[in-house]
Structure 1
Amino acid sequence: LRSNLTNSLKIGGVGGWTKRPDYDDTPSPEFLNPSWMASIPDDQPLSEVTLPGTHNTMALYGGIFAECQTWSLASQLRAGVRFLDVRVRHFKGNLTIHHGVSYQWAHFGHVLEGVADFLGEYPSETVLMRVKEEYSETHDIYGAVVDYVHRYANWDLLWHSRLVPTMGEARGKLIVLQDFPGPDLGMRYGSLDISDNWSVPTLLHVKEKWQSVFEHLEAAPVGNQAQMFLTFSSGAGLFAYPRAVAQRINPQLHDYLGNKTDLNQRLGIVCMDFPAAPIIQRIIDFQLKEAKKIRKAINTVFGKTSLKYIIS
């Protein structure tokens, strides 16, 4: 079975599309897993859940130096992706989606509508979304973000706290990981333990990039379980465009996950360019099974009935 999975499938298209267990730049996922969070216990803090994510989630256009994904937002969510990386340009109150100079033929309202529709259909799930200003430097997108939430979703869709929610509290919610100034809309992006060494100047630097990914993934299971971990496997540079880096990093990530015999551990959020359905599933498979017993033991020792998870 594994030997069959490791074979690449070439599909006709402009320049040819590639579908592998670790890398997929075809228009749609091989299979879907839209409600996998239903099996996560309600009392499990989200910081203990392993989540697949996409880097520059909406970057589907602009050529080889701008494109990071080929699946639509709806397809990504239905494939099991639960962390979104969204970049907005702020111009006269409007929030358009950009990757650098490349406009992505969408605005922030499209993203909010897509997430709201998905959570309405699958209320067992939650979606985390980093929101960052890009290709503008107003440093004042808070008001526009709030306006878009009211216009294209609803205020109650958001998780309104810096506290890390439990899975039960997070179900049906969009958790904004706020990477911009202003009052709290949700959790602060900077509160996460993040590895985002995105600069890969040439393909000769892929080895260094993988080493940083490996080290952060190794740190996640033994790190602070009350803090969310986020590892970006994506990278790019002038002589190493996103597809080329993903074609070299994703197989190493897939093998790393496949070689682990203990799935009872927290890896945090693993954020990728051009992920395939099988590698998304491998990430989902890593979930803490004994976390409830561990928390109960800690509570007993400290004479508490519950632990609060908060990162300032």
Structure 2
Amino acid sequence: MTLESQLKAGIRAFDVRCRLVNNECAVYHQFVSQEINLDEVLQICESFLKMYPSEVVLLRVKDKENSPINSTQSFEDVFVGRYWNKYRTLLWQPKDIDLSLSPPIPIGDVRGKVVILQYFKSSRLYSLPFKHTETTQSHWTQFSRATLYLKWTIIREHLLKTNDSSSIYFDPGPFGLELSFYTNWISGGLTVEPFFVASGHIDWGTDGRRHTCYKEYSFMTEEDSKKVFPEFPRSPLKKNSLGLHYRNVYCEGTNIMTYEKLKAERFRFVGIIFADFPGCGLIQAIIDSVNH
């Protein structure tokens, strides 16, 4: 989906990873250009917020997504000179944050604004700092399809931890007592395809083939069966050439597992969830959890 489509679908938080190219912040994912820069991202957000001024958009801005190309300025200088000064009326400007309030930043202060979650080194804070702390789950590396269930258990445990928490976590930092956000990356990759992690399919597309991660035979006890990928889906009972009955255990994508978990249980708080290829069901399940 385009950025405009994602905003209209209900997504309000974006992971914007930047690489300096010709002294501009180009948006990249590892070595792959997303064919958009930070200026265009902010223009799209500005147009959306003019139409929907009660909304808020969060942008986690990260630098050093690979080495700069033909750039002589620091990331901070480019960020301030090209974007921070230009979009001062759009970007939320941090004021004195009253830590005695709950929440310490009233929602009315950020409506109609883009809030930068700052994940780059700088001489000062331009917005809210983003830090990888105990409130962050970012287990991204998937070395094989067999590790998908481990990825899901990490996501699930962080969902439960987030639900049991307060929405804001205070953490000491170089600029004083800082706020940390509960954040859950349900995407993954490395040596497996990101679409496989999201969907559990080994072919691209909604109806792609599933990956069989285990065969569950009928002579196994129910207790033994529950030990192996208990939350992954099973096929109908089949019979092999030896006459043994079995079920295929299929990998299930993290997007689908997260959607089903949110629908099955009444979550009061899920924090920020970053996902690849989010569908309308997952987006709505996250929105519904906020409405609880």
Give the TM-score, by structure 2 length. 0.69
Name the aligned partner's letter for residue 143 of structure 1: D
Q: Is the Cα contact below 8 Å between 1:93 and 1:144 reproduced in 2?
A: yes
The match for 1:277 is: 280
1:68-217 matches, cutoff 5 A: 71-133=1-63, 134-136=65-67, 140-149=74-83, 154-161=87-94, 163=97, 165-182=105-122, 183-190=124-131, 193-217=135-159
**Structure 1 runs not aligned, ≥5 long:** 1-70, 290-312
1:267 to 244, 265, 270: 270
Equivalent residue letter for 1:174: V
Give the corresponding residue for 2:198.
246
| 1:229 CA drift (Å) | 0.8
Q: CA RMSD for the aligned pairs?
A: 2.0
CA deviation map 1:100-155 (0-9, x unaligned): 1112222111111011111111101001111112112699311111223257x521
Q: TM-score, normalised by structure 1?
A: 0.65
Q: Residue 23 of structure 2 contacts residue 73 of structure 2 at CA under 8 Å; is this kept in 1?
A: no
**Structure with a larger share of its residues in helix:** 1
For 2:138, give the aligned amino acid: D
What is the aligned residue count? 215
More strand by share: 2
Per-residue CA deviations over 1:28-52 (Å, capped at 9, x if unaligned) read xxxxxxxxxxxxxxxxxxxxxxxxx
Runs of 4+ in 1 over 3 A off after TM superposition: 137-140
What runs of 5+ residues in structure 2 fail to find an aligned partner?
98-103, 170-180, 200-252
Deviation, 1:156, is: 2.1
* Identity within the alignment, %: 29
Shifted more, 164-173 versus 75-84: the winner is: 164-173
Residues 264-295 of structure 1: CA distance to partner in whole angstroms, max 9, x if unpaired? x1111111110111210111111365xxxxxx
Does 2:166 match 1:224? yes
User: What residue in structure 2 maps to residue 306 of structure 1?
Assistant: none
SS of residue in 2 equivalent to 1:267: coil
Per the TM alignment, residue 92 of structure 1 is displaced from its structure 2 partner at its CA by 4.0
Tell me: CA distance 1:165–1:191, structure 2 relative to 1, closer, same or farther (3 Å): farther
1-structure distance, mates of 2:55, 2:106: 12
| Aligned counterparts of 1:109 and 1:275: Cα–Cα separation in 2 | 24
Question: Residue 165 of structure 1: CA displacement?
Answer: 2.2
Code of the aligned partner of 1:251? I
